[in-house]
Amino acid sequence: MDFIDVVKENVMDSFQRVGVNIEIDVWTSIELLPMNCFDWSRRQYFSPCIINWLYSRLAINLPEYFIVGIGYIDAYDTGLNFVFGEAFPRLRTCVVYTKRLNPSFYGEKTDYNLYVERISKEIVHELGHLLGLGHCNNPRCVMSFSNSIYDVDAKSRFYCSNCAYSIKRKLV
């Protein structure tokens, strides 16, 4: 099973635990990002620019889908040093930035399973935002805010009972 298949299975499993079956179509196209989204002084991409660009490229052809972009890049938003991901619910679009989710970013040894788990958590988290959830106060809930990689590792890949209830009400 390759990387994308494992992440897909993890995300589907997180929703199945809520009692919701979701369909995931994977488009593995590699896109060159627009350089006007890159901040040369920070050496990071500006997340809202990436989300708007992705939406403008895909939404016309996918009007009933949520769009989840995944990129091995570093990104930020106004007032934040970095973001692991970001969602714009009104655009049905989110992006997960995987560079800081990679253990090697922190000088740690390569750990495929940890990397895949972190990416899966962030996708489930951003999909929660697309479905109308805010951040959760339960530190184990996938919807808790992650200020650092330690926060990502501390939370689970699953919604707490309150967030699960909200998701189920929205989707069923």
CATH number of the CATH domain containing 74? 3.40.390.10
In a domain, 111, yes or no: yes
Q: What is the reported pTM?
A: 0.95
In a domain, 26, yes or no: no
Question: Is 31 a catalytic site residue?
Answer: no
Nearest to 151 by CA among 141, 160, 163: 141
**Tens of pLDDT along the chain (172 residues)?**
688 889 999 999 999 999 998 888 887 777 889 999 999 999 999 999 999 999 998 877 777 889 999 999 999 999 999 999 999 999 999 999 999 999 999 999 999 999 999 999 999 999 999 999 999 999 999 999 999 999 999 999 999 999 999 999 988 7
Q: How far apart are CA 119 and CA 122, in angstroms?
A: 5
Q: Which of 86, 117, 122, 126 is catalytic?
A: 126
The domain in which residue 137 lies consists of 3-15+37-171
Structure-token match 């809202």, residue found? 48
Number of structural domains, the chain? 1
pLDDT recorded at residue 29: 75
In a domain, 89, yes or no: yes
In a domain, 29, yes or no: no
Q: How far apart are CA 13 and CA 93, in angstroms?
A: 21
